[in-house]
Each structure stands twice: as structure tokens, then as C-alpha cells.
Amino acid sequence: MIHMIKNDKRTIRGWAMFDWANSAYALVVSTAVFPPFYSAIAPDFVNIFGYSMDSNSLYSFSVSFAFILMAIMIPLLSGIADYSGRRMFFLKTFTLIGSVSCMALYFFNDETDVFLGITAFILGTIGFGSGIVFYNSYLPEIATEDKYDDVSAKGYAYGYVGSVILLVIILLMISFHDTIGLATEAIAIRIGFVLVGLWWLGFALITFKVLPPDKSIKLEKSIFKEGFRELKLVSRILMKQKSSIRFLASYFFYIAGVNVIIYLAAIFAKEELAFGSSELIVLILLLQFLATFGAYFFAYLSDKKGNKYSLMLQIMIWVFICLFAYLTHNKMHFYILAGFVGLVFGGIQSLSRSSYSKFIKDDSVPLTSYYSYYDVLTKLAIVCGTLVFGVVNQMTGSMRNSILVLSFFFIIGAILLSTVKFEKKIKS
């Protein structure tokens, strides 16, 4: 491991710029622009190996496929990265895959290009989700433990602000496409996908410059074997730490609920409350703005009251959100609810990442492999949460019932979190 001067402001800003860079994909492609564009372009049904599949189901399955593939692939690649000293190589590789895939969406133009669009979307999702693992693993190297919460919050805040800036630029380009010489909204949207790819790759170069370079270790034929060995080492370390295992178990349940609500909030608003496209954009921007504030606020609260207190408070707010959403039939009430979602959306992700970092007490721990467990758990939680949501919705015919069931994910998470012991913060 190459040691760095910790708490260096320039390094921390450079690290956080990766959140600024790749969050544009999460907001523009995953949430705000690509889903409705895909829905408008794709035919109602797509023929797959002689089987007629609903195009929306194909989109849903593509998300599941991407996350399942990452859950299988990332632990092994993390072990290889730790053993071979090529963590930055993988960070750059997945950034390139993701950004180029975004730019490839420019060629998704009509219903004959559905498989091209879906393939680019899957690869973009893999590039986004996989790169985060290697990015997160630098946190313990650039900051001391007492700064984890603040530094993690800075990364998420950079991500929320940067992604909103690019989204606004793209929305203005779409709204005034004729003024700037673009024939249709579709062309403006497709150019927007190219901008996401360039934004992602361009700003990531700042991160690549400030983080430590890879070690020069010659690749050998036994690299996969050594990759598995790194994973086994981390597994043994984790199994000896009851608090870290309990935290991860709690995290699995509450983060499943968080991600399902975020992924499906716009659909719930459209289907259950008849939100229009412009109203959905306002809703998304509200979420992003408050997420920035929430990341910093709950980092501050954690500094005063501790990680456990701050996380538990946020989980209780999520329970309230589920119950209130079940009862909400008014748009204004939903805007208020979205305000609470934005507040705890930023806070709980940021604080979860920094809390997990505090369980790393052994300098010999392979950082990328350690963080791969956290990342894989996140992806499996998303698969589990969306599956439960879909099954309940299919059985009852109501998204409200699915939202209500999600409250149990948060309640279980809170119960498990209550058993976790966090050490007192060590001041640098």
C-alpha cells in the first residue's frame, strides 16, 4: 500500500470529484432522462429468442442482470486488485466502460435499436456500480477516522451538486432545442447522453491525478488464485468482528428499502398521484438539493451524537416515509414527503459508507476486497428489495402495499443496528 498524507485538502477534493463525475450517470441516465426516453422509443413488446416480452419488463430485468453480474464479478476483481496492486487500473477501466457506454446511447434512436440501448445501459450500470467499489476503498487512505464522516459527506455532496448542474444543462438543451439548432427533443436527449459520458470521464481525470498510482507488481498465472485468497482473508477478518457483521446485516435491510424507494419514487408519483413530466423533474431536483444538505447535516449530527444515533434517527424517518406514502393521495403532501426522502437519502448513504470504514482496524486488510463486501451487499439488497416490491405489487395490484411492506425492511434494520457497538471517535 502506498501511504499518503491524510486529511490533505487537495487530495480530498480530488477524491470527491469522482462523485461529481459519475453521479451524472446515476441522475441523468438511471433516473431522470433515459427511463422515460426508453419507454417512448421502445415498442410495447420485444421478441427475445421467440418469446414476446414487455419492454418495461426487459428494462427491469436489465437492471437486475447488471447488479447480479456485478455481485458475482466484483469480489473476485477486488481480490485481484489488492493482490496485484492494480486498484487504479480497475477504477480507470470501469470509468472508461461506463462513460463510453453513455456516449453509445447516442445511437439509440428508434425501436430497432432497443438491444443496443439496453446493452449500453447495462454496461453503463456496470461501469458505474463497479467503479464505486475501488473509489470507496481510498477513503481510509486519504482521511483519518475522525474525518471519515465529513469526507464521505463531501463526496456525496459533490455528486449531488455536479449531477444537478449537468441535468439542468441537458434539460435546458432539450427545452430550447430548436433555438440552438437541434431538430427534435430526441436529438437533444441523445446529445445529453454524450455529455454525461464526457462529463464522467473528464472530471474523473482529476481523481486519477491526485490518488496514489498502482504498484508495479508483475502479473502471474496464479493471479485468480491469489484473488480468491485475498477474499478468504477478508472473510476471516470479518467473521471475527461481531459488530461489523451486525452492521452489515442491518445495512442490508435498510439500504434495500432506501434504494427501492429512490428507484421507484418517480414511478409511484406518476402512477399513483398522476404527476406530469415537469412535476417529476421538479421532484427529482428537490431530492438532489436536499440530499446535499442531508449528507452534511447527518455528518454533523454524527460528530455530536455518534454514528449509531444518527443512523437510527434516519431509519426511523424512513419508516415514517413508508407509512406516510401509503396514506398520501395529495400532490402537495407528496412534495413534503419527497423533502424528507431527500434529507435522509443523502445522509444515510454517506454515513453508512463512513461507518463501515470505521470497522477497519487492521492495516493488513486488503481495502478493495474489504469494500467489495459492502458493495456486493448493496447490490444484493437492491435485487432483494425490488423483488419483494414487485411480488407484493403483483399480488395486491397496489404499489402502496409494496411501500408499506418496505417499512419492515427499515424496522428490521433498526433492530439489528441497535446491537452494533461503535467505538468512540478517535481525534487526530
pLDDT tens for each residue of 272-282? 787 776 677 77
Distance CA 144, CA 114 (A): 47
pLDDT digits (tens, 9 = 90+) for 281-333: 778 888 888 888 888 899 899 989 999 999 999 999 999 999 999 998 888 98
Q: How far apart are the C-alpha atoms of 192 and 420, rounded to whole Å?
A: 44
- What is the band of 428 on the pLDDT scale with cuts at 50, 70, 90? very low
What DSSP element (H or E) covers 196?
helix 185-210
What pLDDT is attached to residue 22?
96
> Residues in the chain, how many?
428
Mean pLDDT, the chain, rounded, equals 86
The full set of domains in the chain, from first to last, is 9-417 (1.20.1250.20)
pLDDT tens-digit readout, 59-105: 777 887 888 888 888 877 777 777 677 889 999 999 999 999 999 99
What number is the average pLDDT over the span 376-393?
A: 83
DSSP assignments along 120-180, one per residue: HHHHHHHHHHHHHHHHHTTHHHHS-GGGHHHHHHHHHHHHHHHHHHHHHHHHHHHHTTTTT
What's the grid cell of residue 300? 454533523
Confidence of residue 411 (pLDDT cuts 50, 70, 90): very high
Between 271 and 306, residue with greater pLDDT? 306
Q: How confident is the model at residue 126 (pLDDT cuts 50, 70, 90)?
A: very high
Burial label for 223, CB within 10 Å (0-12, 13-18, 19+), is middle
Q: Kindly state the average pLDDT of the residues 115-144.
A: 92
pLDDT of amino acid 427: 45
pLDDT confidence of residue 186: 93
Q: Is the pTM value of this prediction over 0.85?
A: no
Q: In 373-411, which positions are buried (b, 16+ CB within 10 angstroms) versus exposed (e)?
A: bbbbbbbbbbbebbebbbebbeeeeebbebbbbbbebbb
Provide the pLDDT for residue 153.
86
Sequence-ordered alpha helix ranges (H) in 328-398? 331-357, 367-396
- For residue range 3-25, list pLDDT tens digits in order: 578 999 999 999 999 999 999 99
Please tell me the predicted confidence (pLDDT) of residue 394: 73
Mean pLDDT of 27-48: 84
172 vs 240, residue with greater confidence? 172
Backbone torsions φ then ψ of 48, nearest 5 degrees: -125, 110
- pLDDT at position 195 over 70: yes
- Residue 136, pLDDT above cutoff 90: no
